Amino acid sequence: MNTTARLALFGGALVLLAAGGFAVGKTAGPVAAAGENATHDGSVPGHAEMAAADALPGGLAASKDGYTFTVADPAPEPGRFAFTITGPDGKPVTAFDVEHEKRLHLIVVRRDTAGFQHVHPEMAPDGRWSVPLNLPAAGSYRAFADFAPTGGNPMTLGVDLSVAGNYQPATYPPSRTAQVDGYTVELAGDLTAGKTSPLTLTVSRTGVPVTDLQPYLGAYGHLVALRRGDLAYLHVHPDGEPGDGKTAAGPQVKFAAEVPSAGTYRLFLDFRHGGVVRTAEFTVTTAGTPAAPAPASAPADGHGH
């Protein structure tokens, strides 16, 4: 991904956020996100909606630059999820640039940041994407499509999904150490709003540093950051890449991240070892910012509203 370009978009969006409170007012709720209502009926948003979406951080709008993320069913059946990316001409897009070995990355997470998934759908010749996605617990989810249409700019679009049932919200206190499948991942470095923040993730197993991490999608690690509350999306990649002659295969994976505002962020690190991709999760506040409780989502009603 072109991380520099995406981070610049984040920074520019803050001017509008501070001036009018538009984006947060439209997106901080548990279900509806900015720009999404324009796609629930399958129609293409008008110029006003598109202009507003252009000013938002990644993932807060379903449309940008004439491209729209439209799901087949906002309350998908277990094991089934399908969608299209339509272009400025209103037709499904079928030409995408390959970014980190895939034409499209799909991130799905519940609005309380539980149940993070990073999957890679397959596209049919007609532009319809599908993936056997499972959303195991009730609640409102956010799906992010991260892609670069051929001839267009990289972008991240987001839509809401819902799973009916008894919603049980999860809470995540600040944490810089993650345990997953016998691995320990430690996070070092502070997030500072509006500045580049060096972060280092160190992977060990039963107390022994892991020095043979395996490449995954062309890197030793992938980091996704979500701003708690509205789920503004930031996708960053580590410094260096496998085979460049200078990047070690662990135990450290280093990143340069920039967050658009003060607050609390959830970080998700995907890494591969022993042929298995695992995800380590962290909860971090920006330097000098106290942690605040996450807003609770309303129970899903099965209709995505």
pLDDT tens digits along 167-225: 999 999 999 999 999 999 999 999 998 888 899 999 999 999 999 999 998 899 999 99
Q: Which residues contact 42 (CB under 8 A, 6 or more apart)?
A: 70
Among the listed ranges 54-58, 120-124, 231-235, 276-280, which one has the minimum average pLDDT value?
A: 54-58
Q: Average pLDDT, stretch 120-141?
A: 96
Q: Is the pLDDT of residue 13 over 50?
A: no
Cβ atoms of 12 and 55 closer than 8 Å: yes
pLDDT, mean over the chain? 82
Query: Rounded to whole angstroms, how far apart are CA atoms 225 and 236?
Result: 8
The pLDDT, as a whole number, for residue 263 is: 92
pTM of the model: 0.78
The pLDDT, as a whole number, for residue 303 is: 34
State which fold the 177-285 domain adopts.
Answer: Immunoglobulin-like (2.60.40)
Query: Rounded to whole angstroms, how far apart are CA atoms 59 and 233?
Result: 5
Of the candidates 133, 142, 131, which has an alpha carbon nearest to the alpha carbon of residue 58?
Answer: 142
Backbone angles phi, psi at 299, to 5 degrees: -60, 140
The pLDDT, as a whole number, for residue 29 is: 34
pLDDT (tens digit, 9 = 90+) per residue, 14-57? 333 333 333 333 333 333 333 333 333 334 445 444 444 455 67
Superfamily of domain 3-163: Immunoglobulins (2.60.40.10)
Highest mean pLDDT among 58-62, 176-180, 217-221, 284-288: 176-180
The pLDDT, as a whole number, for residue 297 is: 47
The pLDDT, as a whole number, for residue 289 is: 67
Q: Where, residue-wise, is CATH 2.60.40.1930 in the chain?
A: 177-285
SS3 assignment for the chain: CCHHHHHHHHHHHHHHHHHHCHHHHHHCCCCCCCCCHHHCCCCCCCHHHHHHHHCCCCCCCCEECCEEEEECCCCCCCCCEEEEEECCCCCECCCECCECCECEEEEEEECCCCCCEEECCEECCCCEEEECCCCCCCEEEEEEEEECECCCCCEEEEEEEEECCCCCCCCCCCECEEEECCEEEEEECCECCCCCEEEEEEEEECCEECCCCECECCECCEEEEEECCCCCEEEECECCCCCCCCCCCCCEEEEEECCCCCCEEEEEEEEEECCEEEEEEEEEEECCCCCCCCCCCCCCCCCCC
Q: Average pLDDT, stretch 276-281?
A: 98
* Bridging pattern class, strands 183-188 and 81-86: unpaired
The pLDDT, as a whole number, for residue 137 is: 95
Which residues share a beta bridge with 109?
A: 142
Q: Is the peptide bond before 260 cis (omega within 30 degrees of 0)?
A: no
Among the listed ranges 11-25, 119-133, 161-175, 291-305, which one has the minimum average pLDDT value?
A: 11-25
Of residues 147 and 6, the one with the higher pLDDT is 147
Q: Where, residue-wise, is CATH 2.60.40.10 in the chain?
A: 3-163
Q: What percent of the chain has pLDDT over 70?
A: 75
Q: Is the pLDDT of residue 251 over 90?
A: yes
Query: Rounded to whole angstroms, how far apart are CA atoms 28 and 36?
Result: 13
Q: Is the pLDDT of residue 135 over 60?
A: yes
Provide the terminal-to-terminal Cα distance of the chain, rounded to the nearest Å. 32
Among the listed ranges 2-6, 14-18, 221-225, 260-264, which one has the minimum average pLDDT value?
A: 14-18
Cβ atoms of 68 and 89 closer than 8 Å: no
